[in-house]
Structure 1
Amino acid sequence: MAREQWKSEVGFLMAAVGSAIGLGNIWRFSYLAYEHGGGAFMIPYLTALLTAGIPLLILEYAIGHERIGSAPLAYAKISRRWEWVGWWPVCFVMFGIVLYYTVIIAWCLAYFFYSFGLEWGADPDQFFFQKFLAVSDSPADLGEIRTPVLMGLAVIWFINWGVVYGGVQRGIELANKILMPTLMVLIAVLVFWSLSLEGAWTGLKAYVTPDFSKLTNPKVWIDAYSQIFFTLSLAFGVMITYASYLPDKANITGSALLTACINCGFSLFAGIAVFSVLGFMATAENKPLADVISQSIGLAFVAYPKAISMMPGGNLFGAVFFLCLVVAGLSSSVSITEAFVSAIVDKFGVRRQPLVTGVCVLGFVGSMMFTTRAGMLWLDIVDHFITHYGLVTVGILECLVIGWLFDLPMLRDHINRISSVQLGGIWDILIKGFVPLVLMVILIGDLYQDLRVPYGDYDWTALILIGRDWLLFTLVLAFFLATRPWRTKNHRRPGRGAKT
């Protein structure tokens, strides 16, 4: 059976951008910029983009396109010994990240409806943590399933199923051609509306005012590289899979540059809306801006709802904001599901549609763990271990396997033959040396910090049984899948470049 392809490079670009742009672009980047020097944060951020983000994104596009396969198939074509490196990320993003990520999207969907009546009332903090989630005191105290979250989760998984079931052209490409323009329009509405609020300039000034003294702190640079790495969906296996659906003639470097620039530009643009609203809130409450800013989940589900309740037409503004989050989250969750489905089809040759149905049902059942009263605590632990240890380790392995054990100059020649922007030897140096070194620094720093002080003040039992063992389970699953015999001949088909 011939491999599906994108109908156009625009469709591929929309899908890649859709995978890259997620919830973190709207809330995490803005907070990091504020915390790490405002406008000065652009220096480490853009440095990280140029020296690690774009080079690694080009690498993933190139290996997927040249080897013509999902992540496991691409690595199997390099060497059967390294096939597990392709399976591990698609396993832990499918049976880890997407399980709790869809739950967060379900929260956003619920808050979309809550916005119309400002259901969170005068105390959004109490509403979110005690009434909506009813968070338990310990990860061991699972409690009951939260019905509003479960209902939203069912809707999200149904949409995921519908899009991935439709295939590359009629499902993923078509959906992203609708989702991405919709997201851009919605975020533009938020930005221009928020700029009209009283006190918007106060927040905007805090967002962009440079504090160059922060750049002497190594943590600022580490956070910048971490943000670039995560925001571009690197080491997820997604970009390798998406690039494998490109035709023989594809502008690899041009697509990578556009994906990275659109993704990062979206983060910067969304930050205007976030901090304009926070500036309005600080002005309305006559408080310093620092007193109304909270990180990540607190920013989206506590600080923002409070501001929404205070502004004229806030219910409509809130609906647009949470709809933005739902759209951004859906495009990312679809890409993760597709990466796993594509890998199974490549190796075992099973029919796509029944597989998609089975995977989505399994995903929904797995996600139910995060709808319990302890769900947010489990989410926090699993997310920390997968993103801080799983993804970073895969990124290092990716650079070492492709950079040192594969014919990297051949891959660069393949890229240059079909791309608008030509790569030089500096790209080889970045992939073989600089990028894995940066990722090792991040990995060692996280490990040192977590050994010194248990993450999130959780007890060691919870961290080991939930975080570490969840990651180890996906690693064991990756080795199991890698050692199964191939039921297709895909791994025997050569790539598009020279023989290795």
Structure 2
Amino acid sequence: MVLLCGIPLLFMEFAIGQYTRLGPVHALAKICPLLKGVGLATVVISFVFSTYYNVLMSWALYYLFNSFGGTLPWKSCNNTWNVVGNCSSGFPGNATHLKSASQQFFDHRLLEKTNGIEEAGGIRWELFGYLIIAWVIVYLCIFKGVKSTGKVVYFTAVFPYFILFALLINNLQLPGAKNGILFFVTPVWSKLFEVKVWVKASAQVFNSIGIAFGSMISMASYNKFNNNILRDALIVSVTNSFTSILAGFVIFSAIGYMAHIHNLPVDNIATDGPGLVFVVYPEVLSTMPISQLWAPLFFLMLLCLGLDSQFATVDVAVAFLKDEFGAKILPFLKREELLTLAVCVFCFALGIPHITKLMDHYTAVVSLVLLAFFEVIAVCWIFGVRRLSLMIKKMQGKTPNIYFRVCWMLLSPLLVLCILISSLVQYTPVHYGKYTYPVWAELLGWCVSLVSIVWIPLGAVHEICSNKGSFLQRLQTAMTPTIDLDAEDPLPEKQNVDTQASETLFTSGV
């Protein structure tokens, strides 16, 4: 996925942003007026992503502050939130009536989880406070724009590597770590024939690299016209893959250790989603020597990684409002910092009632794959690989090699299309553990997807209706790019921007 979609599509987005010097909305509108809604859809999906992603950051903050006590609170069953007779200090294995202490901390202390989505429950005031703190941190890091954000990223992007290497060195000395690593690196070939594996793999690549969020186009728009975007695309992709593999070794070496001390198979402990970082790994940390040191470092690392993603997605929404409505909004707000504050407050308010599993599936999986498909169609097939290659040649001095041209023209679009069709044909309801969401919740999830995707057909209809002539003439005009491909440097550079800071933002793996 990284070779066939990740690197080529990231290279493509960098080229669009750097050549046009525009955000995703106006850049993609110039590339393909017919699918100008794709640009707006990237802004909407980034906005929706921001509203619920910071909820996860509030969880990380909650665990971080609870790590500073004498004993980690998820280590034992002697707490007020534990269910008597249903709690195990370790992993319960085949005892299905038991839950681990860390699972009960997550369910009954952190979330105060109800029996289902039908029972809304009350506001968790502690999490409400941590959500405020999370948004305050985001605001303080981005309110001065890309220049200040880039400087913060120097820490948030580098610090996690120190923690990951420290954890890896520590974990490799634990008994059973080898079995966990072997489980991680041993391929299960039968999984290659499961559609959901490819769907999740594509969503993971797009999520981790930042494809189809609009953030890469936005960040690249601050570059110098002749900046080496191929180098940047390779650095981001390789760094991202290396980080994922490193994190995998850290996680599974610890899971192997946990399986060893509880005499369980590794696959009985391994899980995915939030349960891995908020249930399994806290349980692992609680059994390690000097766990009071490792636990806060681990959750501080999670916070830094999450903030990197938030910086990029929130910046897309702020930049869009500034570019599109700045003339009307800024005289009222007086200062640009207040616009950023307004966006953060609005996202905070929308994040209060989020059902994270449902939102994550329909925003970060369904919508993202759909949006990536339409973006590839707009740029690679309608705008055309020839024009895209010409843009890159004007910036880099040479045409992209055959590998990228074949990926853009054939492999990337067809792969995304196959994944999209297969995921729709073999659709299965979303579930949280053993709980399956009701039909009305599924419909709510699809509505969340439509919030971003609906702008694509609306934009196409608006563009066709705005043109003159017969339907075919209008359609032809809508498919004709308005970008100037003859000028050596079509637009002036954006002013007052620290280019090195913007490069740091997207090479940090956001």
Q: TM-score, normalised by structure 1?
A: 0.81
Q: 1:407 to 1:299 in 2, by over 3 A?
A: closer
Partner residue of 2:125?
A: 147
2:68/2:292 contact within 8 Å kept: yes
CA distance in 2, matches of 1:53, 1:475: 21
Q: 1:443 to 1:221 in 2, by over 3 A?
A: closer
Partner residue of 1:76?
A: 29
Aligned counterpart for 1:439 among listed residues 416, 420, 423: 416
CA distance in 2, matches of 1:458, 1:368: 20
CA distance in 1, matches of 2:264, 2:114: 31
Q: Supply the AA of the counterpart residue of 2:107.
A: F
Query: How far is 1:147 from its partner?
Result: 1.7
Q: Does residue 119 of the first structure (1) align with residue 96 of the second (2)?
A: no
Q: 1:417 to 1:329 in 2, by over 3 A?
A: same
CA distance in 2, matches of 1:113, 1:194: 23
CA distance in 2, matches of 1:124, 1:340: 36
Partner residue of 1:487?
A: none
2:195/2:422 contact within 8 Å kept: no
Q: Does residue 164 of the first structure (1) align with residue 148 of the second (2)?
A: no
- Deviation sequence 1:216-274 (CA, Å, 0-9, x none): 65655554444323321111111010111111120010100000000110011111111
Larger displacement relative to structure 2 (425-434 or 198-207): 425-434
Partner residue of 2:58?
A: 106
Larger displacement relative to structure 2 (296-305 or 100-109): 296-305
Query: How far is 1:455 from its partner?
Result: 2.4
2:181/2:253 contact within 8 Å kept: yes
CA distance in 1, matches of 2:16, 2:488: 10
Partner residue of 1:86?
A: 39
Query: How far is 1:276 from its partner?
Result: 1.2
- Deviation sequence 1:273-298 (CA, Å, 0-9, x none): 11111111111112221222222211
CA distance in 2, matches of 1:143, 1:478: 36
Query: How far is 1:454 from its partner?
Result: 2.7
Percent of paired sites with the same residue: 30
Query: How far is 1:120 from its partner?
Result: 1.7
1:77/1:494 contact within 8 Å kept: no
Partner residue of 2:90?
A: none
Query: How far is 1:395 from its partner?
Result: 0.8
Q: Does residue 66 of the first structure (1) align with residue 19 of the second (2)?
A: yes
Give the match's secondary structure for 2:270. Answer: coil
- Deviation sequence 1:3-48 (CA, Å, 0-9, x none): xxxxxxxxxxxxxxxxxxxxxxxxxxxxxxxxxxxxxxxxxxxxx2
Partner residue of 2:9?
A: 56
Partner residue of 1:353?
A: 337
Q: 1:293 to 1:76 in 2, by over 3 A?
A: same
Larger displacement relative to structure 2 (60-69 or 109-118): 109-118
The count of aligned residue pairs is 434
CA distance in 2, matches of 1:116, 1:196: 25
Partner residue of 2:171?
A: 194
CA distance in 2, matches of 1:256, 1:395: 17
Q: Does residue 130 of the first structure (1) align with residue 101 of the second (2)?
A: no
CA distance in 2, matches of 1:300, 1:226: 19
CA distance in 2, matches of 1:227, 1:324: 19
Query: How far is 1:436 from its partner?
Result: 1.9
Q: Supply the AA of the counterpart residue of 1:473.
A: V
CA distance in 2, matches of 1:435, 1:66: 22
Aligned pairs for 1:192-341 within 5 A: 192-212=169-189, 214-215=191-192, 220-341=197-318
CA distance in 2, matches of 1:215, 1:494: 43
Between structures 1 and 2, the one with greater helix share? 1
Query: How far is 1:205 from its partner?
Result: 2.1
Partner residue of 1:455?
A: 430
Give the match's secondary structure for 1:61. Answer: helix
2:17/2:219 contact within 8 Å kept: yes
Q: TM-score, normalised by structure 2?
A: 0.79
CA distance in 2, matches of 1:497, 1:130: 61
Q: 1:197 to 1:435 in 2, by over 3 A?
A: same
Q: Supply the AA of the counterpart residue of 2:46.
A: V
Query: How far is 1:368 from its partner?
Result: 0.9
Q: Supply the AA of the counterpart residue of 2:154.
A: K
CA distance in 2, matches of 1:492, 1:423: 22
1:254/1:420 contact within 8 Å kept: no
Aligned counterpart for 2:359 among listed residues 375, 382, 389: 382
Unaligned runs of 5+ in 2: 77-100, 331-335, 464-480, 491-510
Give the match's secondary structure for 1:295. Answer: coil
Q: 1:206 to 1:420 in 2, by over 3 A?
A: farther
Please say which structure displays the higher CA radius of gyration.
2
Partner residue of 2:375?
A: 398
Q: Supply the AA of the counterpart residue of 2:74.
A: W
Q: Supply the AA of the counterpart residue of 1:329.
A: G
- Deviation sequence 1:299-350 (CA, Å, 0-9, x none): 1111111111111111211111111111000010110000111122222234
Q: 1:425 to 1:210 in 2, by over 3 A?
A: closer
1:251/1:420 contact within 8 Å kept: no
Larger displacement relative to structure 2 (180-189 or 60-69): 180-189
Q: Supply the AA of the counterpart residue of 1:67.
A: T
Give the match's secondary structure for 1:405. Answer: helix
2:35/2:459 contact within 8 Å kept: no
Partner residue of 2:473?
A: none
Partner residue of 1:369?
A: 353
Larger displacement relative to structure 2 (218-227 or 324-333): 218-227
